[in-house]
Amino acid sequence: MATIKDVAGAAGVSVATVSRVLNDNGYVHEETRTRVTAAMEKLNYYPNEVARSLYKRESRLIGLLLPDITNPFFPQLARGVEDELQREGYRLIFGNSDEHLEKELEYLQTFKQNQVAGMIAATNYPDLAEYSGMEQPVVFLDRTPEGAPSVYSDGRTGGKIAAEEILRGNSKCITLFKGPAHLPTAQERFSGALDVLRHADVNFQIITTASFSFKDAQTSAKELFAAYPNTDGVIASNDIVAAAVLHEALQQEKRVPEDIQIIGYDDIPQSELLFPPLSTIRQPAYDMGKEAAKLLLNIIKKQPLKETAIQMPVTFIKRKTTRKGD
């Protein structure tokens, strides 16, 4: 592998000059720069990123912290982040926190030790001193604090639309799922829906789901029909819960949407393949990831920022588990 000395030799300049070109600091004549760059290309020279990072005290690594990549909402988000970073030559160090504080702190620590250029975090603990005390910029994603750079979608409006659609389809005995209490995003969509139901002329009941795991979704769906067999409309806390409810409803030979309407949240790719295909509230997960990466890179490059708290729109995706709006 070619070294910096080889490049200097081939370009007929000093190692210090090559270093100035590499690190883009100090004056280098344009013609010299072109010669050095050409030599690098010819020799297939790649600077050692670790050495560069030590020297410049920065790197082209970005830390990405997610709750759990096996929750089908997050792969899209991660792809959005990665695709944007990849185009700009940045790479991801990646970890799942499982929403455990200790694991999160451990990842933050190692992100710092590896001198990441910045971080993108989907966290339930945005107010940790570890975040505010970071030298590197942090963009919060999906689960976001006040005031800090962040990208999120409008959960309250999402919940509101979900409830309105179920009412529009004329359900009279509605079950509203309340997602995990410790997840602000789950609580926002819940509150949005609750506000609408509370002012409507319908009966409704609330079931809490302990997590967004597949197993808990199945348990909650069974609980729903045992406790409230007359339910004719369900506002689920996410698409996984909605899929489990749909499964259970069909199992009990209810017709969907004739006997019971179901609406999900997220619009994960699988929801379109359910039968009937799931009506849901779409969060633009991929675009949220992309926006977060763009925002972080702009902060790293000290670009002027138009906004630092970017709210992404949610949209109702009408499929076949709700009745009206055809």
Which spans of this chain sit near a second copy (rule: CB under 8 A)? Answer: 46-51, 53-54, 59-61, 68-70, 72, 74-76, 78-79, 82, 86, 91-96, 103, 106-107, 109-110, 113-115, 214, 217-218, 240, 243-244, 246-247, 250-251, 269-270, 272-275, 277
**In terms of CB distance, is 23 or 114 closer to a second copy?**
114
Element (H, E) at 279: strand 279-282
Six token digits for residue 306: 């138009």
Nearest approach in angstroms of CB 319 to a second copy is 11
**In terms of CB distance, is 285 or 310 closer to a second copy?**
285
**In terms of CB distance, is 93 or 309 closer to a second copy?**
93
Give the sheet arrangement for strand 233-235, strand by strand: 203-208, 173-178, 233-235, 261-266, 279-282, 315-317
CA 241 to chain centre: 19
Nearest approach in angstroms of CB 99 to a second copy is 14
The CA angle 203-204-210, to the nearest 5 degrees, is: 170
One-letter identity of residue 161:
I
Beta carbons of 13 and 35 less than 8 angstroms apart: yes
**In terms of CB distance, is 94 or 125 closer to a second copy?**
94
Nearest approach in angstroms of CB 12 to a second copy is 26
Core vs surface per residue 280-295: b (16+ CB within 10 A) or e: bbbbbbbbbbbbbbbb
**In terms of CB distance, is 78 or 119 closer to a second copy?**
78
Q: What is the DSSP string of 117-159?
A: SEEEE--S-TT-HHHHT-SS-EEEESS--SSS-EEEE-HHHHH
Nearest approach in angstroms of CB 67 to a second copy is 12
Instruction: Report cis status (omega within 30 of 0) of the bond before 276.
Output: yes
**In terms of CB distance, is 68 or 164 closer to a second copy?**
68
Six token digits for residue 8: 């200097």
**In terms of CB distance, is 172 or 214 closer to a second copy?**
214
Question: What one-character DSSP code corresponds to residue 277?
Answer: P
Nearest approach in angstroms of CB 88 to a second copy is 12
Cα separation, 280 vs 298, in Å, equals: 33
**In terms of CB distance, is 202 or 241 closer to a second copy?**
241
Beta carbons of 193 and 158 less than 8 angstroms apart: no
Nearest approach in angstroms of CB 108 to a second copy is 11
Core vs surface per residue 179-199: b (16+ CB within 10 A) or e: bbeebbbbbbbbebbbebbee
Nearest approach in angstroms of CB 146 to a second copy is 28
Question: What one-character DSSP code corresponds to residue 313?
Answer: P
**In terms of CB distance, is 71 or 187 closer to a second copy?**
71
Nearest approach in angstroms of CB 211 to a second copy is 13
Nearest approach in angstroms of CB 154 to a second copy is 23
Residue position matching structure tokens 């604090």: 145
